[in-house]
Structure 1
Amino acid sequence: MPLTCQGKDSWPELIGVSGEIAVKTIEEENSFVTAIIVPPSQTAIPADFRCDRVFVFVDDEGVVERVPMIF
């Protein structure tokens, strides 16, 4: 049975936005998740799926470069 998460699960509109603003927006729009900034120097992230976590991948300037989503 597929896992269904509560609330909004992706934020394509945040590409190009500051990572800090993206974290605040994500956590305001879905109170069930914690958003975590992933800098370009971080090469590994946990591989387990969790409904309560959103990774926010940013570039060297701290700007969101991928669609933040629950995974």
Structure 2
Amino acid sequence: MKLFAKLQKVWQAYEKLDEALYPLIGLRKYDTYLEHFKKHHPGEKPLSRAEFFRESQDAKAKNVKC
């Protein structure tokens, strides 16, 4: 199998994992965020994937009630 084909399979597996994990931990998808951002905030710089994840986690943690 060629290197490109292997990398493509790894990327596909990552995308499936990403799609499965985000709803489980209660986070919106980054792609959905980017679509919204481009539509409603043209010309501004969106958060990176890491920043988006961190902010989503922080917001979720603030809503936890003990």
Band of TM-score, shorter chain: under 0.3
- TM-score using structure 2 length: 0.25
User: Of Structure 1 and Structure 2, which has the larger fraction of its residues in helix?
Assistant: 2
User: Of Structure 1 and Structure 2, which has the larger fraction of its residues in strand?
Assistant: 1
More relative contact order, 1 or 2 (CA 8 Å, 6+ apart): 1
